[in-house]
């Protein structure tokens, strides 16, 4: 199950990258349209392409978020219920200190 979610997340991530790269910052999106015979609200008019890319970006972002949440929940299943805050930092970091042996007396 986790492998499937990871693959879905990778495909969605690449899809998001592609869709975002297709969008223009001026809102023109794809630069298609102008002389097409699709009418005012067609898919390939500049406005229609921008709306389609915006919707696709929103849907892919929601799917990406849901797969992230699914992967998080799968990774937490079967883990110990303790929090990292339950352990003291001194106990986790402090090295064990053993007393040094006294040096042997020098012969005279």
pLDDT of the residue at 59: 95
Evaluate whether residue 34 is within a structural domain: no
Q: What is the pLDDT along the chain (108 residues), one digit of tens a residue?
A: 888 999 999 999 999 999 999 887 664 545 444 444 444 555 567 677 778 888 999 999 999 999 999 999 888 886 766 666 666 666 555 566 777 777 777 787
Evaluate whether residue 38 is within a structural domain: no
Q: What angle do CA 21, 26, 30 make, to 5 degrees?
A: 45
Evaluate whether residue 97 is within a structural domain: no
Measured in degrees and rounded to the nearest 5, phi and psi for residue 11 equal -65, -40
Structural domain including 62 reads 10-21+43-77
pLDDT of the residue at 67: 95
pLDDT of the residue at 36: 45
DSSP single-letter state for residue 7:
H
Provide CB contacts within 8 A for 70, sequence distance 6+: 5
DSSP single-letter state for residue 83:
-
């Amino acid at each position: 199950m986790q492998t499937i979610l990871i693959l879905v997340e990778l495909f969605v991530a690449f899809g998001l990258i592609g869709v975002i790269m297709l969008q223009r910052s001026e809102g023109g999106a794809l630069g298609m349209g102008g002389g097409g015979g699709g009418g005012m609200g067609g898919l390939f008019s500049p406005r229609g392409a921008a709306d389609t890319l915006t919707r696709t970006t929103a849907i892919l972002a929601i799917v990406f978020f849901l797969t992230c949440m699914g992967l998080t929940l799968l990774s937490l299943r079967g883990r110990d219920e303790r929090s990292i805050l339950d352990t003291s930092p001194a106990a986790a970091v402090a090295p064990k200190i053993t007393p040094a042996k006294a040096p042997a007396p020098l012969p005279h």
